[in-house]
Structure 1
Amino acid sequence: MGVNGNLFAVELPLNLNKWDVLSRVSEDSKKFTKHVWSSIAVDQGINHPLFYPYNENIPGLDKKTKNLNPVLFDQQQTAINWNLWNIMVCHIVQGDLTLYSAVNPVDTDEKDYGFLKYPITKEKYINEGEASNDWSYLDWLKHYYLATEFIDPFAMPLKSMVYPDEDSLIIDETDGFAMAVYPQSEFKWFQDKDIIKYKIREIWTYDKNGKVVDKKMEAIAPVIGNKDQNGNIMGERILFWIDFKELSPHLTTSFILINRYKKEKIISLLEFFQQREFYASLLEDKKALLKATN
């Protein structure tokens, strides 16, 4: 045990959390690695380049259909403020960035913690959850990941055009029963201003003395605040996870101006992560991550 990358039981330094440790140790270096979860919040000024500037309008939104249109992202390219959220959404909608569900679509009690277990792709989405077979990929994204549905609990059935005094009815093909037809639900697409933080999962490598010698980002997740009717944040929700390695090429063409120690420099968003120009607060235990998964 412990040779050639096999799992190795080690005693962790006292300042390390003992849950979810990847103890991969080589005999010569005695290094081990550990999963580490952190939170990059918008209220830390040093993190602002990931969140700002906001867009007044929703990038890619077709005002006629009220749906995101992959083509419009290219047409609006020069007018969009390309913060991290809009880069993610653009490439998810265009199909060249994989979205991973934060929970098992079939059993929502099974949570994912950034291990990228539940990919939602154009090829696979139709077999997940309870979506009907005539849903499009964008329908799937809208209903579960990129928007929130507003259902009026006091909505009345639509009236029949043939018999105006009666409710419109539709026959359920599965059981043959008639159902009343209600107004279509409205959806609100999440925007960059809704994102309050990003959760990240990294693999940290430690030497035999417990010193961190390397940090590798594996996955990143946008987080929104769950609000009550008065707009007060009552909790958090992880929208989805993204493979950071797959995201990285899309961050090389977006540049930001940062000021460090009274010196300005222009770097790409990828360099912002690679050079660790952000501030992240460590999540102490599983409960801290679970809090934002529901």
Structure 2
Amino acid sequence: MRAVILKRISWGAFLLVMLASTADAQSRRRGSRTADPEPAPQQPAGAPVTNPATGNTVTPPAAPQQPAQGAQPLSLRQDGVGTPVDTPRKSLRIDGVSEKSPIRDRVPITYDHIREDDKFWEKQIWQVIDVREKMNLPFQYNVEDETGVNQLLINILLQAVKNKEVEAFSPIDDRFSTLMPYQEIMTRLSGEVRTVRSIDPETGEEKLVETRDEFNPETIKQYKIKEVWVFDQEASALKVRILGIAPMVSRVNDDGSVRGSLPLFWLYYPDLRPILARYDVYNQNNDASTMTWEDLFEMRFFTSYVVKEKNAFNRDINSYIKDGVMRLLEGQAIKDKIFNKEQDLWEY
């Protein structure tokens, strides 16, 4: 009998505890309706989340950190790929035995004036600089200097056009007759802007984003230059003046073979000289001897082959000579003709 009474008392105490906890929970629920809702706990940045659209676990990209006030902005550039468009990354320590002076206000030497009446003989030719040649290795030096400036020539040219320091001309002709905007150049390099569907890995929402292919500057393997050789009767010297520079883009067949190379755009070299004089070029013989891109072109520290001379039919060498070796020999014959012309003008 006593055991039955104790059992009933324990069950009654248990029911009282349950009723008290239920009443307390209801009172808390009523208070939460009037108070402000607490914010949901946020997951740490970079933590895996479940995409509700696919049910797969994905890792969202980490949010970019904002630099502190007065600090240098973070660089988002990928080393060696793409055109430098963000803040250059400067060296925080001296990269050598002594600090180099970052002089960017160098001015090229003015050309000697040649009067129209003193031009005794003149010849226009077009040459191609292939960066894969051993002497043209500085054209492949895709490295930043201590100030964070990329020394690759194509990046320097594109940055000058983007900043409107020099005007680009359309490759429809080589007479610098039609201007070419920067956006059209990037369309030729990276293709048209495409709109694609993308799913946000955090929210799972489907949205439309605009994207385009990334330009790889290492795909530029050739540069075409237009120059004129003139014999100055007053100075009694044969002089050469570069008139224009054009990066060449290759056209590839379906099987991967190169169909041909075409100029991307033309830049008027006299307008480009002050810009090239501000950028150092890699000297493969001596790192202590600095040289600018303007010095490289003026001192002819490059190798090239002739692809055209001014003629009555206005045609390139490859239009009437199909064999590659014979085209090189024809271009060398044009160079020899210019050299012999200067020698034949002298009498002893």
**TM-score interval w.r.t. the shorter chain?**
0.5 to 0.7
Preserved CA contact (<8 Å) 2:185 2:264: no
Partner of 2:136: 47
- Once the two structures are aligned, what percentage of the paired residues are identical? 22
Rg (Cα) greater in structure: 2
Find the residue that maps to 1:265 and give its secondary structure. coil
Preserved CA contact (<8 Å) 1:149 1:185: no
Partner of 2:155: 86
Higher relative contact order (CA 8 A, sep 6+): 1
Q: Give distance in 2, aligned partners of 1:265 and 1:203.
A: 29
Structure number with the higher helix fraction is: 2
Preserved CA contact (<8 Å) 1:200 1:218: yes
The reply on whether 1:275 has 2:299 as its aligned counterpart is yes
Q: CA deviation at 1:97?
A: 1.6
The reply on whether 1:115 has 2:175 as its aligned counterpart is yes
Cα 1:213–1:77 change in 2 (3 A) is same
Q: Which of the numbers 230, 234, 249 marks the counterpart of 2:274?
A: 249
| C-alpha distance after superposition, 1:144-202 (max 9, x if no partner) | x44334989xx9xx8xxxxxxxxxxxxxxxxxxxxxxxx88853343320111100011
Find the residue that maps to 1:250 and give its secondary structure. helix
| C-alpha distance after superposition, 1:213-249 (max 9, x if no partner) | 0000000100021123454322112101001111111
Q: Give distance in 1, aligned partners of 2:283 and 2:211.
A: 39
Preserved CA contact (<8 Å) 2:119 2:230: no
Q: Which of the numbers 235, 240, 244 marks the counterpart of 2:260?
A: 235
Partner of 2:167: 98
Q: Give distance in 1, aligned partners of 2:237 and 2:305.
A: 16
Q: Give distance in 1, aligned partners of 2:209 and 2:230.
A: 51
Preserved CA contact (<8 Å) 1:257 1:264: no
Task: Give the unaligned 5+ runs of structure 1.
Answer: 1-23, 56-75, 104-111, 122-136, 159-182
Q: Give distance in 2, aligned partners of 1:203 and 1:279.
A: 17
Task: Give the unaligned 5+ runs of structure 2.
Answer: 1-114, 198-207, 310-314, 321-348
Partner of 2:38: none
Q: Which of the numbers 204, 221, 225 marks the counterpart of 2:250?
A: 225
Find the residue that maps to 1:283 and give its secondary structure. strand
Structure number with the higher strand fraction is: 1
Preserved CA contact (<8 Å) 1:203 1:218: yes
Preserved CA contact (<8 Å) 2:251 2:260: yes
Cα 1:284–1:99 change in 2 (3 A) is closer
- What is the identity, as a one-letter code, of the residue corresponding to 1:269? W
Find the residue that maps to 2:275 and give its secondary structure. helix
Q: Give distance in 2, aligned partners of 1:227 and 1:213.
A: 40
Q: CA deviation at 1:258?
A: 2.3
Cα 1:185–1:230 change in 2 (3 A) is farther
Aligned residues: 189
Q: Give distance in 2, aligned partners of 1:226 and 1:98.
A: 25
Q: CA deviation at 1:54?
A: 6.3
Cα 1:250–1:241 change in 2 (3 A) is same
Preserved CA contact (<8 Å) 1:35 1:204: yes
For 1:127-206, what aligned pairs fall within 5 Å after superposition? Answer: 138=183, 140-143=184-187, 145-149=188-192, 187-206=212-231
Q: Give distance in 1, aligned partners of 2:177 and 2:273.
A: 19
Partner of 1:64: none
